[in-house]
Structure 1
């Protein structure tokens, strides 16, 4: 999934260096020792913006020192990447290691394109955070390793909140509602900008309710949109939207919610950390008023559920360097370099114990507490077609906000969802 990640506001982008090339002979399999790696080159695909230059330099040095092999990072663009990876995995000489979107991992695993990594999980992944690790498992088997993640937070205007007499950020959902009410009554600002189709925030609410958007019906998946837990999530979304004047039939990108917020007339919005940078780009003066907090849940001891977007690292089934690829993963994912990535990029690492690397990054510190309660969209290959435009769940959301009951709105779109789920990938 496409993600723009920044370590702090003001960082416009991250350049990634490409390591030098070497030979290209295969290793001898699972039992290959370090001496057998000499003269080889491991090809690793990472996405533009994922691996900062310092990280790639440090990992390359550690890898080459340990194995005697060369490491070649090949940077890919997000646009068209699914098709490119699908093609590469079907060829005789695929990249050895690939960064894959966490929600895309099941589809690649289902086609047989990814190598199973159960042994790697046992060696280095026993303390991976379960919520971030679940997307690397398909059909009960480990086909990838969790790498980095990001989730939504509340980005708010401190000046507006102060005018409303709010002295601290909310710790529960009801406290958040009361703060939004205060902004509406005591200031001339819109309490929150929440368009009707902020689909990933809604998905987080369903996760918080313990809801599943699909269910098994025999040997196939069908919509579970009519589930009472999904209904409750939509009711929570509707409550938040009642404090907003944003359009009910648009998502957060039309117009860009950060640019709306940048005008200084909105108390808060729910978005990714990089959107704060978008707001500052639109209006530099708002930077001093920016604040962040974790989306509060029903009780103070558990944040709201959030959608965890991010990436896994996988080994191509067709790679002739399986053992060498696993050596790379052991280095890239160890505490030192996983922690370094979290610190440099401000992303959520794959272990809760490594979140100390986020200290001093206000956005990341607000995002991190929700990671353990986070999740994803349904981790089945069939799900990708559900989100294709026009996304029927967005239509469901708009219908509810325009007055339809959640049950009637669900009936309106379930046929389309089930048709999409039945498509062969």
Structure 2
């Protein structure tokens, strides 16, 4: 998922309307699952484009259903969802990114997950957490995302690097060696600032044992572990190992291909992108788990599928969601999209079980961490984006930047 920017002002403006329209359900029994009906589904980005094909296949075994999928761009998704929620016109089923779910669950417009058909033990813990808010689960995990280390193996040999960096200290040593011995312009590509810089920082933060919001739901971004992580992150820019200014729309795979960037953290979709666009790189690169600090921990991203609290088609919607998040549906979805299954059973056969590269992501998901759902999560993480950029640009120390972020975030956490 490419996390869209939440438009906080819109949500605030419509808050009073939502208290009137989002009553937590239609109150009626609704339409039976086997009755003739149309299910409306909103999905974002590439997933929205691909889901229509799955819907057509699903209709073949559910002749009473018409499944109408509307693809929506991530750039406008939040605004459309808020407006639809305020008008009481959310679709029956909607894709929810991790940064959205807490906001819409707090509005009261999502139906809690049916524990009789969707079971927590079937999914990665971090994936389940992303769909949960205030003690209840509102989103069934659909697909997951995490980050691992991509590195050039051929340039590693020139740099005298014999194996993938296993620790954060190894990572910086490798970055220096790539520059000095293999002729790379940079040692490691990490984001210096701007929207969603936090996604680049998570690998350092979580591996150091830090968090933005702790397990008790309190702001914790200026903890000793978090300060240590940001000091480490900032040191790459201080030492000239990472670029301080990255142009909008930057594609790291181009510099990975030329060798200007020998290492970066990336998601699973990049494997096919590199293979297709740069066939000459075959057997010259590999992936490895996030180098460990206190542990090897990466971010957990992805999306859930939620049902509108006011839907009249909840019975059929629950069956569709159960299929899409079940083992069979998840296996099919991976074959169509390369999105990583949230359901762990889907990893036990086929390419997911046999491909060593895919197993790196499987290993990383076992320890991946999700930020607890919050109504103002996007606003919260934007404060961390600002703190990171302040450090990478040499404007403040890690402690000063995170103390400031902490004071701003404390008033946003619910």
Q: TM-score, normalised by structure 1?
A: 0.78
Query: 3-state SS of the aligned residue for 1:119?
Result: coil
Shift of the alpha carbon at 1:214? 3.7
- Counterpart position of 1:186: 181
**Pair 1:2–1:187, CA change in 2 (3 A):** closer
How far residue 360 of structure 1 moved from its aligned partner, in angstroms, is 6.4
CA change 1:233–1:251 in 2 (3 A) is: farther
Which residue of structure 2 aligns with residue 349 of structure 1? Answer: 341
Q: Alpha-carbon deviation of 1:328?
A: 0.9
User: Any idea what the Cα deviations from partners look like across 1:66-123, whole Å, max 9, x if unmatched?
Assistant: 5732322222222211111122233344311111112211101110110111434x64
Q: What is the distance in 2 between the residues matched to 1:211 and 1:56?
A: 40
For residues 150-206 of structure 1, give each alpha carbon's deviation from its aligned partner in whole angstroms, at most 9, with x where no partner exists: 122222222211212333323343443443343344222233233433421212332
Q: Which moved more, 1:229-238 or 1:176-185?
A: 176-185
The aligned residue for residue 110 of structure 2 is: 114
Conservation of the 8 A alpha-carbon contact between 1:331 and 1:337? yes
The structure that is helix-richer by fraction is 2
1:296 corresponding residue in structure 2: 291
Question: Which of 129, 135, 141 is the matching residue for 2:136?
Answer: 141
**Aligned-partner Cα distance in 2 for 1:208–1:97:** 35
Let me know the Cα RMSD of the aligned residues.
3.5
* Gap runs ≥5 in structure 1: 5-25
Structure 2 counterpart of 1:305: 297
Quote how far apart the aligned CAs of 1:413 are: 4.2
Cα offset, 1:63, TM superposition: 5.4
Partner Cα distance (1:179, 1:3) in 2: 30
When residues 381 and 28 of structure 1 are mapped into structure 2, their CA distance, relative to the original with a 3 A threshold, is: closer
Aligned residue for 2:373, secondary structure, equals coil
> Is 1:408 aligned to 2:400, yes or no?
yes
SS at match of 2:94: strand
Distance 1:268 1:225, change over 3 A: same
Measure how far apart 1:321 and its partner are: 0.7
**2:159 counterpart residue number:** 164
* Secondary structure at 2:115 match in 1: helix
Q: Identify the match of residue 78 of structure 2 among 75, 82, 87.
A: 82
Q: How far apart, in 1, do the equivalents of 2:44 and 2:356 lie?
A: 25
Relative to 1, partners in 2 of residues 1:225 and 1:126: Cα closer, same or farther, differing over 3 Å?
closer
- Whether the 8 Å CA contact 1:335–1:354 is kept in 2: the answer is yes
Closer, same or farther in 2 for the Cα pair 1:358/1:393, shift >3 Å? same
Match of 1:377 among 349, 355, 371: 371
The 8 Å contact of residues 343 and 358 in structure 1, kept in 2 or not, is answered as no
Q: Is the 8 A contact 1:199 1:394 kept in 2?
A: yes
**Matched residues, number:** 386
2-structure distance, mates of 1:251, 1:307? 22
Matched, 1:335 2:334: no
Q: Counterparts of 2:362 and 2:309 in 1: how far apart (Å)?
A: 33
Partner of 2:147: 152
Q: Normalised by the size of structure 2, how large is the TM-score?
A: 0.79
CA distance in structure 1 between the aligned counterparts of 2:307 and 2:153, rounded to whole angstroms: 45
Q: Aligned residue for 1:17?
A: none
Instruction: Tell me if the contact between 1:201 and 1:306 (Cα under 8 Å) persists in the aligned partners.
Output: no
CA spacing shift, 1:252–1:113, aligned 2, 3 Å: farther
Q: Distance between the aligned counterparts of 1:406 and 1:27, measured in 2?
A: 51
Q: Is the 8 A contact 1:101 1:312 kept in 2?
A: yes
SS at match of 2:74: coil
1:208-248 per-position Cα deviation (integer Å, ceiling 9, x unaligned) = 3343314699xxx8753321121122233245556653333
1:204: which partner in 2? 203
Q: How far off its partner does 1:27 sit?
A: 12
Matched, 1:72 2:68: yes
Check conservation: 1:297, 1:305, Cα contact below 8 A. Answer: yes
**Superposed CA offset, 1:18-49 (max 9, x none):** xxxxxxxx99737x765xx2321111222231
Aligned to 1:91: 87
User: What pairs with 1:236-385 in structure 2 (closer than 5 Å)?
Assistant: 236-239=232-235, 241=237, 244-248=240-244, 250=245, 253=248, 255-275=250-270, 285-286=280-281, 289-298=284-293, 304-356=296-348, 357-359=351-353, 364-385=358-379
Which residue in 1 is equivalent to 2:47? 50
Q: Give me the whole-angstrom Cα distance separating, in 2, the residues matched to 1:47 and 1:195.
A: 24
CA separation of 1:333 and 1:282: change in aligned 2, threshold 3 A? closer
Describe the shift of the 1:345–1:278 C-alpha distance in structure 2 as closer, same or farther (beyond 3 A).
Answer: closer
